[in-house]
Structures are given as C-alpha cells and as structure tokens.
Amino acid sequence: MEEVKGVVKHVLLARFKEDVTPDRIDQLIKGYANLVSLIQPMKSFHWGTDVSMENMHQGFTHVFESTFESVEGIAEYVAHPAHVEFANEFLPTLEKVIVIDYKPTVLCA
C-alpha cells in the first residue's frame, strides 16, 4: 500500500434541517463550491446525494468531498476567512454532520 503523495481528502456528510428549502440548499452548495476559487490549497470539490439501495445512510442525504494538497492545506482552509464565513452560514442549516479527512491509499499488487 502506498499513500498518494501529499493529497488529503476532506469528506463532509450532511443532513439538512427539515425547514431548509431546496433553493437554500442549492445556494449553499454553490457557496461551498466557490471556496475552490478563493482558497488556494483547496484543489477540487465534488458533491452528491445518496443514491444507495442499501439504506445504510443513517439519515445523511448529502456528501461533499474536497481535495487538498496536504494536511497543512486543510488547516489553512479551516482558518481561512472565506471558509469561516461560509461555515457560519452552512453549519446552522444542518441537523447532522460528520467530517472525515483522510490520505488516499492505493493498494499495490
């Protein structure tokens, strides 16, 4: 096994509160995606909703995945004023949230 050099994935699982409208969720997702253009160590952003047939989502409906150049890059992102401002708007709309940062590992044969 080999760690992908430097790269760190930041995964956020979310369940929005029932009173958050679909339009508001769309606005928040656009705001989240816009952080890529504002925060240099954030290299990419992907998101989606649960499409699993296994019904093991535990109420989480959305997944957000960002790629960073390093663990230090995530620290820079977390402290960045644009992220702080966004988090102050985003987090209060969530009923449940889990955040995991991990270094992707490739299984070498």
SS (H, E, C) the chain: CEECCCCEEEEEEEEECCCCCHHHHHHHHHHHHHHHHHCCCEEEEEEEECCCCCCCCCCCCEEEEEEECCHHHHHHHHHCHHHHHHHHHHHHHEEEEEEEEECCEECCC
Active-site entry in 10, 32, 62, 77:
77
46 tagged catalytic: no
Active-site entry in 62, 80, 83, 102:
80
77 tagged catalytic: yes
Catalytic residues: 77, 80
